[in-house]
C-alpha cells in the first residue's frame, strides 16, 4: 500500500513538473533551432560572397552587413519566442532594465557607443584617429569594440608600429576623439630649420620660400578643393592654404619654420624629401650654416702695460 502511494506521488510530481516547464522546454528547443538556422544561413551567404566577389573592401563590408542583419534577426526572433506578444514587451523591458543596467553596464555602454559611431560617424573604417593617448588607423568596427593599427608611440613621425589596438566603443563617449581625415584629409605640418646668427638670413628665407613653392604648392591646391567640400558640412575656414615660411630668433640662432598642408600618411615622406632638397641647397652657399646649441668661453687676462687688454 505504501509503495503504491509513493509511485502515485512520483507520477503526480512528474505531471506537475511537465505542466510547469512544458512551455519553457518548447521555447528552448525552438530557440536552439533558430540559432542553428541563422548561423547556417550566415555561413552560406558569407561563403557565396567570398567566392563571387573579388574586391576585398566589398567582401569586408558585406560581411559586416550580414553580421548586423544576423544579430538583428536573432534578437527579434528569440524575443518573439520568449516574450508572448509584443504588447507586453514594454512591461518586460521595464522590469528587466534595472537589473540589466547594473549587471551589463559596460556591455550596454559599448553597444550605445557602437550606435553612436554608426549614427554620428566621428570616424569610419580607414580613418586615422587619436582617442585618448592612442593613435592609429581604424581597420575594424564591431558591436563591442573597434580596432586600429597603432601609429607613433616609440616610432617617429607617426609611422605604424605594427600593433593592433582593440578599444571598447564606450571610449568614444568618454575620451576626446581627433580625426585626421574627418571630411578634410589634410593637416598642417611644420619643418623647423635653425641657422647661425652669422648666416645670411635673407638668402636663407629666399631659398626656403622657393623650395616650399616648388615642392609643396601642388598639395595646397588639392587641399583647397577638399576644403570647399568640407565647408558644406563643417565651419572650416583657412585664410591661407599655400605654404609659408616664418622666422623667429632662438638662443642658438635664427629659426625658420616651413608651414604647409599635407596628407597625414605622407607626412614622413614629405619631410624627408624637403630635408634632402634643403641640405643640397645649403651646401651650395657657404654663408649659410645650420646651428646647434653651443657654449662659448671667454678667458679674462690682466691688462698689458699699454692699457690694452689682450683678446682670447
Q: What is the DSSP string of the chain?
A: -HHHHHHHHHHHHHHHHHHHHHHHHHHHHHHHHHHHHHHHHHHHHHHHHHHH---HHHHHHHHHHHHHHHHHHHHHHHHHHHSSSGGGHHHHHHHHHHHHHHHTHHHHHHHHHHHHHHHH-S--TT-EEEETTEEEEEEEE-SSEEEEEEESTTSGGG-EEEEEEEEEGGGGGTS-EEESSSS---EEEEEEEEE-TTS-HHHHHHHHHHHHHHHHHHHHHHHHHHHHHHTTTS----S--S-EEEEEEETTEEEEEEEEEE-GGGHHHHHHHHHHHHHHHHHT-TT--B-----------PPPTTSPPPP-
Residue 312 binned pLDDT confidence (cut-offs 50, 70, 90): very low
C-beta neighbour count of 262 within 10 angstroms: 21
Look at the alpha carbons of 210, 214, 215, 217 in this order and tell me if their dihedral is positive or negative. positive
Per the CB < 8 A criterion, the answer to whether 27 and 81 are in contact is yes
What cell does 265 get? 600618411
Cell readout for 94 is 521595464
Query: Global pTM?
Result: 0.60
Q: Is the dihedral of CA 50, 56, 60, 62 positive or negative?
A: negative
Q: What is the CA radius of gyration of the chain?
A: 34
- Please write the tens of the pLDDT for every residue from 298-310: 776 665 555 555 5
What is d(CA 117, CA 99) in angstroms, rounded to the nearest whole number? 26
Nine-digit cell at 210? 622657393
> Average pLDDT, stretch 161-169?
93
Q: What domains, with CATH codes, occur in the chain?
A: 2-103 (no CATH), 120-179 (2.30.30.60), 187-283 (3.30.70.100)
Give Cβ neighbours of residue 35 (< 8 Å, ≥ 6 apart).
74, 78
pLDDT of residue 78: 74
Q: What is the pLDDT of residues 36-89, one digit of tens each?
A: 888 888 888 888 888 887 777 777 777 777 877 778 788 777 777 766 544 455
C-alpha cell at 19: 505542466
C-alpha cell at 47: 561563403
Specify the pLDDT at position 259.
92
Percent of the chain with pLDDT over 70: 74
**Contact at 8 Å (CB) between 66 and 42?**
yes
- For 270-286, write each residue's pLDDT tens digit: 899 999 999 999 999 99
Q: Cell numbers of 239, please?
A: 585664410
pLDDT digits (tens, 9 = 90+) for 224-250: 777 766 666 666 666 677 889 999 998
Check residues 90 and 267 and name the one with the higher pLDDT.
Answer: 267
Amino acid at each position: 500500500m505504501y509503495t503504491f502511494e509513493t509511485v502515485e506521488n512520483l507520477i503526480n510530481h512528474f505531471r506537475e513538473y511537465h505542466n510547469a516547464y512544458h512551455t519553457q522546454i518548447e521555447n528552448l528547443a525552438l530557440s536552439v533551432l533558430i540559432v542553428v538556422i541563422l548561423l547556417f544561413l550566415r555561413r552560406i551567404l558569407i561563403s557565396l560572397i567570398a567566392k563571387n566577389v573579388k574586391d576585398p573592401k566589398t567582401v569586408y563590408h558585406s560581411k559586416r552587413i550580414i553580421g548586423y542583419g544576423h544579430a538583428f534577426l536573432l534578437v527579434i526572433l528569440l524575443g518573439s519566442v520568449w516574450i508572448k506578444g509584443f504588447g507586453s514587451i514594454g512591461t518586460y523591458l521595464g522590469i528587466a532594465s534595472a537589473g540589466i543596467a547594473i549587471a551589463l553596464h559596460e556591455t550596454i555602454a559599448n553597444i550605445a557607443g557602437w550606435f553612436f559611431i554608426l549614427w554620428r560617424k566621428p570616424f569610419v573604417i580607414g580613418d586615422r584617429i587619436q582617442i585618448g593617448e592612442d593613435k592609429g588607423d581604424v581597420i575594424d568596427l564591431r558591436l563591442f569594440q573597434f580596432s586600429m593599427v597603432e601609429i607613433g608611440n616609440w616610432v617617429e613621425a607617426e609611422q605604424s608600429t605594427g600593433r593592433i589596438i582593440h578599444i571598447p566603443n564606450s571610449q568614444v563617449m568618454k575620451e576626446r576623439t581627433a580625426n585626421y581625415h574627418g571630411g578634410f584629409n589634410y593637416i598642417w605640418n611644420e619643418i623647423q630649420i635653425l641657422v647661425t646668427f652669422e648666416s645670411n638670413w635673407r638668402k636663407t628665407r629666399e631659398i626656403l620660400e622657393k623650395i616650399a613653392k616648388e615642392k609643396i604648392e601642388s598639395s595646397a591646391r588639392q587641399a583647397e578643393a577638399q576644403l570647399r567640400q568640407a565647408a558644406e558640412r563643417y565651419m572650416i575656414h583657412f585664410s591661407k592654404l599655400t605654404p609659408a615660411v616664418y622666422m623667429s630668433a632662438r638662443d642658438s640662432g635664427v629659426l625658420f619654420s616651413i608651414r604647409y598642408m599635407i596628407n597625414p600618411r605622407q607626412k614622413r615622406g614629405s619631410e624627408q624629401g624637403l630635408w634632402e632638397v634643403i641640405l643640397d641647397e645649403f651646401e651650395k652657399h657657404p654663408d649659410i650654416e645650420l646651428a646647434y646649441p653651443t657654449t662659448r668661453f671667454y678667458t679674462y687676462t690682466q691688462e698689458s702695460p699699454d692699457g690694452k687688454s689682450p683678446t682670447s
